[in-house]
Each structure stands twice: as C-alpha cells, then as structure tokens.
C-alpha cells in the first residue's frame, strides 16, 4: 500500500509528437480509454527514450521534489516577466522543459558517463545517486553497500580490494597473489560519496578506475564493465578535506547543482515521514533498465546525427578561447596553454593582451580553452539530450542546454576580465551556468552577424579536400594553393587576431601543406 505513493508512472506518451494528417480511423479505438482495466503496456515494448522520459517524470513527480525547470525549450513565443529591482527575467517555456538536477544524471545513466552532484549537506545528492543505481536494476541495499563513502582514511585497498593473506605468504611470484576485488567494481552504476574527502593517493587509484575503467593491484588487473559514475561533493571549490587532483576533476563529465528546496512542497516531506517511506525503495519496475537496455540506449544515442550547421556553430564557439596573441611568438604556440605550461603569471599575461576589444572578444572572458575531451563530452550529451526529447537529430537548442553543465568546471572564467566588471554582470561571477549560457548565445550571435552559414571560405576549402587528392591535376592543385593564399590574405585584412581567425589560419596552413606535398609528389613522378 505504501508503495502506491511512489508507484505511479506516466502511461501516456511523455513527449507526444504531432501525427501527420490525414488521420486513419479504426473503430476499435472506441474500446480504449479511461475505463480500461487492462494491464499497463509491457514496458519492454516501449521505445527506450520514452521509457527514460517516464523514469524522468516519475523521479520529478514522486521522488525528487525539484520544481526547478532550468533546462528550457521553446517551440514558439514564451511569456516573460521582469521582476524585482534588478529586473530578474522569469520565462515560462513554451515546450517541454526539464530540471537539470534530474535530467543530467539520467543522461549520464543513458550514456554511461560521469556526473558530479554538488550542493550543501542534506539536499538529496546521495539519494539521487542511489536512485540511479536502482534504475539500473540493483536492489536498494546493494546500491547502498556498493556506494563508496569518501573519508580521510580511505585506502586504495578499501577502494578496490586487497590481496588474499594466504597468497601473500605462500606465493613465489607477485602474479600468484590473488586479489579479493571489491564487489562494487562490477556494478554498472558506481557511486562515490563525498569524493573530495578521499586522500590524494587513493584519488589516484580512483583516477585510473574512472579514466581507464580498470584497476591494478599486485600485477593483477580487474577490467570493470562500462558504468555510469555518480560522485557527490558538498563544495566543488576546494572545500573538501583534500584538494581533488586536477586530472580526476577533468574526468567528470557534467556537474549538477542541488538547488534549494522549495518549502511549498513541505507537505510531501511530511507524508514521507508519516508513511516512513523513501522513494528509492518504491521505484516502479516498469522504469528499471536491464544491462542490455542500457547498452542499446547508448548505441541509439551515438547514432543520432549532428547536422553540419549545428556542428559549425560549436566549432565557432570552441575556437574563441584557447588563443592568446601574447603567449607565444610562433604562430602555432599562441595559446593560453603555452603560458600555463610555462608558469606565466596570468594577470601579467592578460595585461599585455591589449590589441583586441577585450569586452567584445569572448576569448578574454576565460583563462583557458577547451580540450578534446570536453568537446567529446559535449557532443555526447547533446546527442543524449536530443535523443531524450525524441528528436531525429541534434538541434542547436540541445547543445545550448547541455553546454553549461558540461563546461562549468572546464571553461574557467577570468573574473578580472573587463566583461565581469560591469555591475549588471556581477551575478555571473558566481553563476557559472548563467555565464556559459550567455557566452554560447553571444558566440551564436556573432556567428550570425558574420553570416558564416552563408559565406565561409575556409569551409569551402575544407569541402574541396574532403574527397581526397587522388587524381587531382597539377593545374587544379596550383589553383587551390593560390586560393588558400588569397583567402589568408583576405582573412588577415581586418588587422586583429581572434581565436576563430587563428584556428582558421591554422587550418589553411595545414591545407596548404597537404597541397604542397601532393604537388611535390606529382612533380617528382616520371612523366
């Protein structure tokens, strides 16, 4: 009876799509409707995206009381309200929108990646992570037992396992020592609670596990199955017992913040106290996923296409941040990472960089650029987002919505940059999600202003070489070489160097090299 509190799963499609006209009519549909006592449809017959949406709606309606719809989608005009002295903007989305605190962990579950929950104590971070374990079909007790709790005394052996004492004494070779591997290593959902309380040495073992999905002890290797990872931390700004090593932080794909509880939902909490019920103990069976289903979800997500115009905007965005004109003398080394590796003082470096409009140049808002791993993660989550919404391909809205959560710990703001000095942008110093949204929006606006969808000479040159060089005649190669040189001249006419231009010039240089080498080969062939 108690479970009835939590057992209701949406039976209607959670994100219905318009059906094309003309409609076909079958009189048998008169026998379907609210008076049916038939069993609910077999959840195994549901498309997996629909099943995951049902899981999402069950969680937001019954488990995690999270009325924060911060992932907004629109399919038309949306009412907007400007409230308070600072004219805070409240938007009522015109399409199905979601709560990041629930959705991002679910997308992590579907893509088998790594998610960090942050937020103050008692805000449901651990409970949310446990729910993800239950969705993978594990009993609550097993999920709790499998959860690793970070504490200052946590050793590598505590984390991964220990050698059998008998073998330690009797073995002649190290590889004869058998290891009692910890049970949680085999789970498809791995939870590490308060990971910033783990000692640095143990963090290194965790890094191998998270990064390479295996663990090694006494020359013995344990290969873990693919898994979704959930880590929790009260504070992501270094407030844990130990500083989290940079490489470990970089392995985390998305960060979601537990937003404050809305006291309007206090009565729901009261019911849980009175019924002595926890939602994770009543997850309806129809939203549990088998290992095969999780694997199939991942495959379906990976297959979803990213259209070229969407990818192009992402390229444009990613190009803006790494470039630093003063960090290197050689053209290829004009990167913030060059200065970082050399230990150059950032304040000194940015003070030198005075050739550009530091307010307009988005690259001036960050102290670093994006890594390949960041971009791979972003594309994976954008695909997952589109798949979750039942879309046939990734849209710009999908990228816009997942980008802040993927990059919020990766793209670091330069809080001393002129952009943040304006009083109306003060809140962006603490609101990374809001800042990254604005950053991507500004990049897309600049992309539109430049008309890159209509005219993109570098893209034209890249398209030319895409089919390969085989059979291209000498005259054509010379024509293309001239075209590249002409394009470089035209692009450089503006006088100022920006990140996007720097990347384009690097591409043109590499194309020039390919054609030049090919031409040499052509000329060296016997007539």
Partner 1 sequence: MSEPLHPAVEGWLRQSREPLNAAFEAARARWPALSGPAALDWLRLDVADAVAAVAARDPVAAPRVGQTLYALGLNLLGQQLIGPEGRSPGIPEALRLLVRHAPGLLAAAPARLAGAYGNAAHHLSQHRGARLGDWQTRLGRALPLCTEVDTALDVGLVAAWLSGLPQYRESALARAARLSTGLLAALLDTAPGPDLLGQLAADPWFQPGPPPLPLAAVRARVGDFRGLGGEFLQPPVVVGDGQTVHAVSPGWVGQLAADAWGAQLIAVLPTTLPAPAHAVPPGYRLTPAALHTPDGSRLELGRFGPVTGIAWTAQLLALSFRDSHRVRVLARRRDA
Nearer to partner 1, 8 or 296 (CB): 8
- What is the distance between the alpha carbons of residues 348 and 200, in angstroms, rounded to a whole number? 31
Sort 350 into a burial class: Cβ within 10 Å, 0-12 / 13-18 / 19+: buried
Q: Copy the structure tokens of residue 459.
A: 């893209």
The distance of closest approach from Cβ of residue 6 to partner 1 in the complex, given in angstroms and rounded to an integer, is 10
The distance of closest approach from Cβ of residue 41 to partner 1 in the complex, given in angstroms and rounded to an integer, is 15
Nearer to partner 1, 3 or 307 (CB): 3
The distance of closest approach from Cβ of residue 30 to partner 1 in the complex, given in angstroms and rounded to an integer, is 5
Nearer to partner 1, 17 or 166 (CB): 17
The distance of closest approach from Cβ of residue 20 to partner 1 in the complex, given in angstroms and rounded to an integer, is 7
> Is the bond preceding 22 in cis, omega lying within 30 degrees of 0?
yes
Q: Write the interaction track for partner 1 spanning residues 244-263; mark x where CB under 8 A is met and - where it is not.
A: --------------------
Q: Copy the structure tokens of residue 76.
A: 């038309």
Q: 419 to each of 171, 359, 415, 429, how far by Cα in Å?
A: 64, 5, 8, 10
The distance of closest approach from Cβ of residue 258 to partner 1 in the complex, given in angstroms and rounded to an integer, is 28
Nearer to partner 1, 20 or 495 (CB): 20
Nearer to partner 1, 27 or 292 (CB): 27
The distance of closest approach from Cβ of residue 213 to partner 1 in the complex, given in angstroms and rounded to an integer, is 43
Among 12, 35, 45, 372, binds partner 1 (CB under 8 A): 35
- What is the distance between the alpha carbons of residues 14 and 290, in angstroms, rounded to a whole number? 21
The distance of closest approach from Cβ of residue 268 to partner 1 in the complex, given in angstroms and rounded to an integer, is 13
Q: 428 to each of 35, 438, 439, 442, how far by Cα in Å?
A: 52, 9, 11, 14
Nearer to partner 1, 25 or 449 (CB): 25
Angle (CA) 49-299-437 rounded to 5° is 65
- What is the distance between the alpha carbons of residues 319 and 406, in angstroms, rounded to a whole number? 17
Ranges within 4-33 binding partner 1 (CB under 8 A): 4-5, 8, 18-23, 25-28, 30-33
Q: Strand 114-118 relative to strand 228-233: parallel, antiparallel, unpaired?
A: parallel
The distance of closest approach from Cβ of residue 13 to partner 1 in the complex, given in angstroms and rounded to an integer, is 15
Cβ neighbours for 426, distance < 8 A, ≥ 6 positions apart: 420
The distance of closest approach from Cβ of residue 24 to partner 1 in the complex, given in angstroms and rounded to an integer, is 9
- What is the distance between the alpha carbons of residues 182 and 186, in angstroms, rounded to a whole number? 8
Ranges within 295-334 binding partner 1 (CB under 8 A): none
Ranges within 455-474 binding partner 1 (CB under 8 A): none
- What is the distance between the alpha carbons of residues 123 and 68, in angstroms, rounded to a whole number? 14
Nearer to partner 1, 8 or 302 (CB): 8
Tell me the number of residues near partner 1 by CB under 8 A: 23
With beta carbons less than 8 A apart as the criterion, state whether 267 and 129 touch.
no
Q: Copy the structure tokens of residue 512.
A: 């020039």
Nearest to 53 by CA among 295, 387, 402, 292: 387
- What is the distance between the alpha carbons of residues 159 and 205, in angstroms, rounded to a whole number? 8
The distance of closest approach from Cβ of residue 26 to partner 1 in the complex, given in angstroms and rounded to an integer, is 5
Among 11, 13, 16, 36, binds partner 1 (CB under 8 A): 36
Cβ neighbours for 5, distance < 8 A, ≥ 6 positions apart: 62, 271, 272, 275, 277, 282
Ranges within 37-96 binding partner 1 (CB under 8 A): 37-38
- Token pair 């296409």 is at which residue? 305
- What is the distance between the alpha carbons of residues 419 and 408, in angstroms, rounded to a whole number? 18
Nearer to partner 1, 22 or 79 (CB): 22
The distance of closest approach from Cβ of residue 25 to partner 1 in the complex, given in angstroms and rounded to an integer, is 4
- What is the distance between the alpha carbons of residues 132 and 457, in angstroms, rounded to a whole number? 47
With beta carbons less than 8 A apart as the criterion, state whether 204 and 168 touch.
no
Stretch of 34-42, 95-103, 150-158, 412-420 lying at the interface with partner 1 (CB under 8 A):
34-42
Q: Copy the structure tokens of residue 379.
A: 């594309």
Nearer to partner 1, 22 or 526 (CB): 22
The distance of closest approach from Cβ of residue 275 to partner 1 in the complex, given in angstroms and rounded to an integer, is 10
Nearer to partner 1, 4 or 478 (CB): 4
By CB under 8 A, residue 1 contacts partner 1: yes
Nearer to partner 1, 4 or 360 (CB): 4
- What is the distance between the alpha carbons of residues 195 and 202, in angstroms, rounded to a whole number? 10
Stretch of 35-43, 65-73, 151-159, 259-267 lying at the interface with partner 1 (CB under 8 A):
35-43
Nearer to partner 1, 271 or 441 (CB): 271
Ranges within 105-124 binding partner 1 (CB under 8 A): none
Contacts with partner 1, residue ranges (CB under 8 A): 1, 4-5, 8, 18-23, 25-28, 30-38
């Amino acid at each position: 009876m108690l479970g009835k509190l939590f057992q209701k799963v949406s039976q209607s499609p959670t994100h219905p799509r318009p059906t094309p006209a003309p409609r076909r009519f079958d009189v048998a549909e008169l026998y379907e409707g609210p008076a049916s006592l038939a069993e609910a449809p077999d959840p195994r017959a549901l498309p997996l995206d629909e099943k995951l949406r049902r899981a999402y709606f069950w969680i937001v309606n019954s488990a995690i009381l999270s009325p924060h719809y911060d992932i907004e989608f629109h399919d038309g005009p949306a009412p907007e309200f400007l409230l308070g002295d600072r004219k805070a903007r409240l938007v009522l989305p015109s399409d199905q929108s979601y709560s990041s605190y629930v959705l991002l962990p679910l997308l992590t579950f579907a893509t088998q990646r790594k998610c960090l929950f942050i937020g103050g104590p008692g805000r449901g971070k651990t409970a949310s992570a446990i729910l993800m374990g239950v969705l993978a079909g594990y009993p609550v007790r097993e999920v709790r037992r499998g959860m690793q709790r970070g504490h200052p005394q946590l050793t590598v052996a505590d984390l991964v396992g220990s050698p059998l004492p008998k073998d330690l004494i009797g073995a002649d070779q190290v590889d004869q020592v058998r290891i009692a591997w910890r049970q949680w290593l085999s789970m498809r959902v791995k939870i590490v609670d308060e990971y910033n309380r783990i000692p640095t040495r143990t963090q290194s073992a965790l890094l191998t596990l998270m990064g390479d999905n295996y663990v090694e002890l006494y020359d013995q290797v344990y290969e873990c199955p693919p898994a979704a990872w959930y880590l929790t931390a009260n504070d992501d700004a270094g407030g844990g017992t130990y500083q989290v090593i940079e490489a470990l932080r970089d392995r985390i794909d998305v960060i979601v913040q537990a937003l404050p509880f809305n006291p309007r939902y206090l009565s729901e909490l009261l019911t849980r106290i009175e019924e002595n019920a926890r939602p994770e103990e009543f997850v309806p069976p129809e939203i549990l996923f088998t290992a095969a289903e999780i694997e199939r979800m991942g495959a379906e997500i990976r297959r979803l296409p990213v259209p070229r115009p969407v990818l192009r905007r992402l390229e444009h965005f990613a190009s803006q941040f790494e470039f630093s004109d003063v960090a290197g003398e050689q053209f290829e080394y004009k990167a913030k990472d060059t200065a970082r590796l050399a230990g150059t003082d950032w304040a000194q470096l940015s003070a030198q960089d005075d050739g550009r409009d530091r307010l307009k140049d988005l690259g001036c808002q960050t102290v670093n650029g994006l890594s390949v791993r960041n971009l791979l993660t972003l594309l994976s989550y954008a695909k997952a987002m589109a798949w979750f919404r039942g879309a046939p391909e990734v849209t710009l809205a999908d990228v816009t919505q997942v980008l802040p959560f993927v990059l919020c710990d990766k793209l670091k703001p330069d809080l001393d940059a002129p952009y943040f000095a304006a009083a109306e942008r003060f809140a962006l110093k603490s609101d990374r999600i809001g800042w990254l949204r604005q950053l991507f929006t500004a990049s897309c606006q600049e992309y539109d202003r430049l008309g890159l969808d209509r005219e993109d000479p570098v893209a034209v040159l890249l398209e030319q070489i895409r089919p390969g060089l085989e059979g291209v005649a000498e005259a054509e190669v010379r024509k293309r070489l001239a075209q590249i040189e002409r394009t470089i001249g035209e692009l450089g006419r503006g006088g100022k160097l920006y990140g996007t231009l720097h990347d384009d010039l690097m591409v043109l240089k590499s194309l020039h090299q390919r054609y030049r080498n090919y031409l040499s080969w052509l000329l060296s062939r016997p007539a």
